[in-house]
Amino acid sequence: MLKFVNYSVVFREVPNEVTLAINISGCPNKCKGCHSPHLMEDVGAVLDNEMLYSLLCRYNNAITCVCFMGGDAEPEKVEQLAFFVRRATNGRIKTAWYSGKSQLPRGFIIESFNYIKLGPYIEKLGGLDSPFTNQRFYKIEEGRMVDKTCLFAKRKVVKTEASYQ
């Protein structure tokens, strides 16, 4: 069962999109220097189709993308939720996944996503905007993963936040 602790409307995590980023808890990756250690705990509210639909109703006209931040403990559930977003919005709202794994699980269906980020956080290499980063950001084009990490070269952060109550 996927759970989330909060969500934010962000402008940086997915280039050229206004994104509802949902922070999923229960992360199994244990990256050294993790920026959000609370996300390793089994906390928060259940993230299912019903909850996602209520968020879509609230933000439908304000966003162009939904990004699932985490969910590596249950990647198939992340894929199902991404498929739900596509279906519920007739494909108007794009979907993205930030995974902390270096590779996708075997048999993972990438067609439910427009964007996928792969790679754990390694402190000395930095995040996506670091020239030394191990992480990769892909755009899904015609069933292929096209590396677009270069889009992150030093961008400004603009962010508004809302917590789930």
Where do contacts with ligand SF4 occur on this chain (CB under 6 A)? Answer: 27, 29-31, 34-36, 39-40, 70, 100, 120-121
Q: How far is the CB of 143 from ligand SF4 (least distance, A)?
A: 26
Q: Which residues contact 3 (CB under 8 A, 6 or more apart)?
A: 24, 25, 26, 42, 43, 44, 45, 46, 47
Q: How far is the CB of 34 from ligand SF4 (least distance, A)?
A: 3
Q: How far is the CB of 33 from ligand SF4 (least distance, A)?
A: 8
Question: Considering beta carbons, is residue 79 or 86 the nearer one to ligand SF4?
Answer: 79
Question: Considering beta carbons, is residue 51 or 101 the nearer one to ligand SF4?
Answer: 101
Q: Which residue is nearest to ligand SF4 (CB)?
A: 100
Q: How far is the CB of 121 from ligand SF4 (least distance, A)?
A: 4
Q: How far is the CB of 91 from ligand SF4 (least distance, A)?
A: 28
Question: Considering beta carbons, is residue 40 or 145 the nearer one to ligand SF4?
Answer: 40
Question: Six-digit token pair at 165?
Answer: 């109550």
Question: Considering beta carbons, is residue 33 or 143 the nearer one to ligand SF4?
Answer: 33
Instruction: Give pairs for 49-57: CB < 8 Å, separation 24+.
Output: 49/81, 49/84, 51/4, 52/81, 52/84, 52/85, 52/88, 53/84, 53/88, 55/7, 55/20, 55/22, 56/85, 56/88, 56/89, 56/93
Question: Considering beta carbons, is residue 70 or 75 the nearer one to ligand SF4?
Answer: 70
Question: How many beta carbons lie within 10 A of that of residue 16, not counting itself?
Answer: 10
